[in-house]
Structures are given as structure tokens and as C-alpha cells.
A and B are shown apart, each in its own frame.
Chain A
Amino acid sequence: NAGVMQNPRHLVRRRGQEARLRCSPMKGHSHVYWYRQLPEEGLKFMVYLQKENIIDESGMPKERFSAEFPKEGPSILRIQQVVRGDSAAYFCASSPGWGPGLYEQYFGPGTRLTVT
């Protein structure tokens, strides 16, 4: 029973390039969340998605950031024209969306983005 999968684990991009982070939720989970963690800080909510729908994107920067969770395939967090301030660990979490633990979140290992 695989947990939440994220890839790549480490990503290096030059300023101005695009970063694509992928997240495959746990089997049977239909809700996906993305968080950003800066060094020595807690996790900051970015966006909450269900299949083909963005439910809450109140934590997403208005520009350059977008997220999707298509009917088939992983959820993607896309950062266009990256800047040094985007360097952080990005974590994906999933929850079942049903049953007694419907909103309990299970985290992936994260993608560490470094912008040079």
C-alpha cells in the first residue's frame, strides 16, 4: 500500500525557468493538498484540489503558480518563471474524502526546489 508519492525529490532550476512538481495521492484518496515549507518554518497551505476541481486556492500566490489534479494522473504544481524566493520544500498531502478519516492528511516526502 504505497503512500503519497512525489517527484522529483530534488529539483534545481535557474531563475526564469519553469518548475513542475508531481504528486500521486495514496490509493483511494481523492483529495490533494499542496503546502510550502521554508527552512526552519512550518508548512503553509497553498491549494486544495479534488479530481478536476480546485476547491480552495487561497494560499497560492496570484501569479506564476498554478495547480491541477486531472481525472487521470498525478496532481501537478506548476511554478512559472521561478525566482530565488521560490526555493523551498513543497509537500503534497492526500486525504480519502470519505469514511471516518475523511479529512486526515497523509504527506508525501516532498520536493526540494532550489532556484539558482
Chain B
Amino acid sequence: QQQVKQSPQSLIVQKGGISIINCAYENTAFDYFPWYQQFPGKGPALLIAIRPDVSEKKEGRFTISFNKSAKQFSLHIMDSQPGDSATYFCAARYNFNKFYFGSGTKLNVKP
């Protein structure tokens, strides 16, 4: 049973456009929601994270929007660049140290 559902599976965006990736969860005990970026052949790297008492967090071109009542959160990449082309994973943390990952979104930013 998938604890965190992520969509879309793949995404093509033109350079300069906005990339939006969505995740949904069921377990209200999750207390921390990070996003990871993974390039081929590399490990996931922490990109940005949010706690459920905050509705939005912005770091540079990356923004997380969090909707606690809907149990959804999303990653927005503004002014998307070809260098942003990677696989993005959302995750949710339970009991301090157990992370559940979404299935990933492969982003392709066309020049």
C-alpha cells in the first residue's frame, strides 16, 4: 500500500515554464515532508522540506505548497531550466526517522 502517492510520473516543461509535481498522503502522523532531486546514477539530494504547521516554503526557484486539510503537498519549480531535468521524489516522515517516498516524477525541461 503506497503511503505517499506522487503524480505525474513524467513531466515535460519548456525552459522558463513552471513545473508542478503533486503528492498526497493519508497518515496524519507524518510530521515532515521533504523533496529530493535525483540525477541519473546519483543518490537523491535533499532539495527543500516543509513541516505541516506551515502552508508554504520558498527557496530560490523552488516552492513547496502544503495543504494540511487536503493532505496534499506540491513542489513548484519556477523559471524551469534544462539543468533541472532530473527525477524528483516527495517523501513523508513518520516517527522521526522512517521515511516513505513517492514513486518519483521524471522532469524534462526542453531548451
A interface residues, Cβ below 8 angstroms from B = 4, 6, 31, 33, 35, 40-45, 48, 55-56, 91, 93, 95, 103-110
Neighbouring B residues of A6 by C-beta, 8 Å: 43
Closest A residue to B104 by beta carbon equals A42
Q: How far is the CA of A56 from the CA of B94 in the complex (A)?
A: 12
Beta-carbon contact of A107 and B45 below 8 Å: yes
Q: How far is the CA of A103 from the CA of B102 in the complex (A)?
A: 19
Beta-carbon contact of B98 and A43 below 8 Å: no
Neighbouring A residues of B32 by C-beta, 8 Å: 103
Q: How far is the CA of A4 from the CA of B43 in the complex (A)?
A: 10
Beta-carbon contact of B97 and A95 below 8 Å: yes
For residue A110, give the distance in angstroms from its CB to the closest CB of chain B.
5
Beta-carbon contact of B102 and A91 below 8 Å: no
Beta-carbon contact of B44 and A103 below 8 Å: no
Beta-carbon contact of B97 and A42 below 8 Å: no
Q: How far is the CA of A55 from the CA of B49 in the complex (A)?
A: 24
Q: How far is the CA of A40 from the CA of B89 in the complex (A)?
A: 11
For residue A39, give the distance in angstroms from its CB to the closest CB of chain B.
11
Q: Which of B6, B43, B49 contacts A91 (CB 8 A)?
A: B43
Q: How far is the CA of A6 from the CA of B41 in the complex (A)?
A: 13
| Contacts A33-B99, A45-B99 known; 5 new A-B pairs at CB < 8 A | A33-B97, A55-B97, A104-B34, A109-B41, A110-B42
Neighbouring B residues of A104 by C-beta, 8 Å: 34, 46, 49
Q: How far is the CA of A45 from the CA of B97 in the complex (A)?
A: 11
